[in-house]
Amino acid sequence: QKEVEQDPGPLSVPEGAIVSLNCTYSNSAFQYFMWYRQYSRKGPELLMYTYSSGNKEDGRFTAQVDKSSKYISLFIRDSQPSDSATYLCAMSRSSNDYKLSFGAGTTVTVRA
């Protein structure tokens, strides 16, 4: 079993819809949780990160962490065609842990 599980999708939604993405993990030592966005034929770019449980909002993006369930989510409100990309979750054990564990990524298409 992989440390981080992420449904690869693909996920297709109409413009303006809410996109819901999630990852589950097995290692309770993970404390920091990140979401990266990867456009086709580009490298991943950091969207946001959260520490421990709770919510964090950044514009149209909201990240949620539920450590008790070992479950994290990313919500994209008012989705746009420019949000079409692959979204990868990543986790680490501490702020000194540079060996991020990545999910497989979920491919999202927002239809105009």
Partner 1 sequence: DAGVIQSPRHEVTEMGQEVTLRCKPISGHDYLFWYRQTMMRGLELLIYFNNNVPIDDSGMPEDRFSAKMPNASFSTLKIQPSEPRDSAVYFCASSSGWGAGYTFGSGTRLTVV
Could you count the other beta carbons within 10 Å of the beta carbon of residue 81? 10
Contact between 61 and partner 1 by CB under 8 A: the answer reads no
Contact between 102 and partner 1 by CB under 8 A: the answer reads yes
Contact between 104 and partner 1 by CB under 8 A: the answer reads yes
Number of residues located near partner 1, criterion CB under 8 A:
20
Q: Name 96's Cβ contacts closer than 8 Å, sequence gap at least 6.
A: none
Among 46, 78, 81, 111, binds partner 1 (CB under 8 A): 46
Among 7, 9, 49, 70, binds partner 1 (CB under 8 A): 49
Question: 34 or 110, CB closer to partner 1?
Answer: 34
DSSP code of residue 42: S
Dihedral class, residue 28 (left if φ above 0, else alpha if ψ from -120 to 50, else beta): alpha
- CA-nearest of 20, 82, 95, 100 to 51 is 95
Question: 1 or 96, CB closer to partner 1?
Answer: 96
Q: Which residues bind partner 1 (CB under 8 A)?
A: 34, 41-46, 49, 88, 92, 95-100, 102-105
